[in-house]
Amino acid sequence: MKIATWNVNSVRFRAQLVTRFLRDEQPDVLCLQETKVENGLFPALPFHKLGYTHQAIHGQKAYHGVAVLSKIPFRTSGRETGVQDFCREGHARHMGVTLANGVELHNFYVPAGGDIPDPVQNPKFDHKLHFLAEMEKFFARRKAKSDPVILVGDLNVAPLENDVWNHKQLLGIVSHTPVETRLLGEVQAAFDWTDTTRHFVPPEEKIYSWWSYRAADWEASDRGRRLDHVWASPGLKAALRSQKIVRKMRGWQKASDHVPVVVEFDL
């Protein structure tokens, strides 16, 4: 089973890039973030024609939004799946589904947090810290860590030193501050998640999934951050087969500033 996650940064604007990615990579499930569209205007048909007939959409006008596109049937109702209330602002930032093969899948879009890493001065940063704390509480309540569960999404935190282009310079920059990396570490510890990228790529190696639009030449400067993640529960760790970050897609015309992360499981 191949799972992909991608902050598409407007699914209507980049629908053709989504279909191109689906043809190229053929994931069984694609989780999108920052879709920026209300449910009724989501461009479902081109993805449906490619075999992604099972779709769960949680969107809002112009901002945020998540979606799950799947070749595998799923359900969204149930104790742990569907839309959970992680976001105190009421944003569309989570969608959970349970696939027909029994895998529970959670798709997250964690708030970016603004520019000032101070929860008193910056309500957006305070919101981000609150969201991460709610994620930790949700998974800490779960007892059956042997359950097959996958967490994916734009978590908007680059947790390790080599998840950013310059650790020392970015310690005071939102996405890599100590308080954010600590909180994300608590979310990971709450369910003993395996960070699938770092399962295959040693922490000594730099690797990114996001490059700013501000760079005149993103590839030459290579000032990236690893903000996009796929985590596997202990019950799925032994099933991990491969992972890749599709870096080349940052160079596509009209590209998102994020690129997909693709992980294969032997199920």
pLDDT in 10s for each residue of the chain, 267 residues: 999 999 999 999 999 999 999 999 999 999 999 999 999 999 999 999 999 999 999 999 999 999 999 999 999 976 677 788 788 888 999 999 999 999 999 999 999 999 999 999 999 999 999 999 999 999 999 888 889 999 999 999 999 999 999 999 999 999 999 999 999 999 999 999 999 999 999 999 999 999 999 998 999 999 999 999 999 999 999 999 999 999 999 999 999 999 999 999 999
What is the structure's pLDDT at 79? Answer: 66
Q: Residue for token digits 């959409």?
A: 57
Which of 47, 19, 31, 54 has its CA nearest to residue 262? 31
Q: Look at the domain 2-265 and name its fold.
A: Deoxyribonuclease I; Chain A (3.60.10)
Q: Residue for token digits 């499930």?
A: 29
Which of 127, 125, 66 has its CA nearest to residue 97? 66
Dihedral of CA 25/29/35/39: which sign? positive
Which of 74, 56, 65 has its CA nearest to residue 1? 74
